[in-house]
Chain A
Amino acid sequence: MNTFLLLLQDALVAAVPAVGFAMIFNVPAGALKYCAMAGALGHALRLGLHQFGGMPLEWATLLAAGVVSMVGIQWAQTWRAHPKVFTVAAVIPMIPGVHAFTALLAVVEIDRTGYTPELFAKMMENGLRAFFIVAALAVGLALPGLLIYRRRPVV
């Protein structure tokens, strides 16, 4: 598949969970389109930086979340609401859910069938990756506040 088509498909597919989870979080209907656009942008940007830019997944996540947050702040100021109202739903497609569950299941499996170095490695690798990606997402979303809006509120 050519690179552009891959990124485009990734963006369109990622917009679906951004909207789906925005509805779980009861984001007002008027803001759902922002969730979709920011979700698409963030996930495709991360895939591009990681697969084609050769950046480690965690750093790509940090950058993508930072960009989503910057865009979110612009919309937040015109829409008059806190940016987290839509930026958190927008980064939901990047949440490392599979890694988190795999790590916990490896813990259960160690208890059930006994210790093996492979299971232990699985637990550590997935758990650490989940931890660092979640940290990158949260810090990425906080970046504009930490660097630019230091002493004044965004909205």
Chain B
Amino acid sequence: MISEEEQRQITRVCAQATILLLQHGAESALAETVCRRLGLALGLEVVEVVLVANGITLTTICRGRGCTTVRRNSDRGINMHVVTEVQRALLRVEAGQFDLDGFSGRLAEIQPLRYNRLLVAVMVGLSCAAFARLGQLAHGQALEWGTLGWAFAGSGVAMLLRQTLAHRGFNPLVNFALAAFVATSIAAQGVLHGWVGNPRLAMAASVLLLVPGYPLINAVSDMVKGYVNTGLSRAGTALLLLLASCGGIVLAMTVWNTWTWL
């Protein structure tokens, strides 16, 4: 038999789990399902959750008693480790291994995984060089290291800058514009000195780390699954980030006078 106080605690922990998922980049369908499954597994009768662009409203019903709560959602950056941990904790509740205290204790223990910054920057540099190589392959061009090397340098440095600015709490739009400026400026040096075989490919590949791929895919899948309002908000955010990066690219091409892109 669930008391009123227990119902309130379960509602609170459902809201907490849902917000954790939304803050770390889970799609709306997943956040809503986890919330409902968690509430039902902990013994509630009805769990209704409404997602809006920057918050959630949650109502639970148990023996005719309702309990409603609202939480604000702020973006903490995509972190699939947190999403995985919340989902696994839910699976353990459903398997009967966790009760309410076990679950909330597990949530409190989750420390978001962060890879070493330098390692990520090197991997992102390699990724953008790989994008340049994929471009060469798709157009049947021979392997040319100059393009790959300058794409690596531009994107690696831009990634370091992006992490530093994010850590210092800069607005993502400012962050992306500055990172795009730096990436394009570095790639432009290779173009200006004639060290790059395919200037357009090198400049394009060096800013591909700034394409908001996850928000774009989440935007479409939210809308496909019926969450049009969160989907539109994600699409708007992604478009703004793309525009901010575009501003940085244009500024760099103006400064270095390298209009090789179009």
Contacts and interface: CB of A to CB of B under 8 A. Distances in A.
B113 A105 contact: no
A129 B235 CA distance: 16
A73 B180 CA distance: 35
A93 interface: yes
Contacts of A47: 137-138
B123 A20 contact: yes
A142 B218 CA distance: 11
A135 B220 contact: yes
Contact of B133 (A13, A108, A138): A13
Nearest to A85: B80
A92 B80 contact: no
B262 A105 contact: yes
A101 B220 contact: no
B242 A101 contact: yes
B262 A17 contact: no
Given A24-B78, A26-B113, A85-B83, A17 B130 contact: yes
Interface string A75-117: 0000011101110110111010110111011101100000000
Given A23-B123, A105-B250, A134-B220, A82 B30 contact: yes
A28 B137 contact: no
Q: Kindly state the interface size class of chain A when it binds its partner.
A: 35 or more
B81 interface: yes
A93 B131 contact: yes
Nearest to B133: A13
Given A24-B120, A26-B78, A104 B242 contact: yes
Nearest to A7: B137
Interface stretch (B2-10, B50-58, B185-193, B205-213): B205-213
B26 A82 contact: yes
B88 A81 contact: yes
Instruction: Name the residue among B82, B129, B262 with the largest chain A CB count within 10 angstroms.
Output: B262
B120 A104 contact: no
Contacts of A155: 87, 91
17 contacts: A13-B133, A16-B123, A25-B214, A31-B84, A43-B134, A47-B138, A80-B91, A88-B217, A93-B131, A97-B207, A102-B204, A104-B242, A108-B246, A138-B221, A139-B224, A142-B225, A145-B225
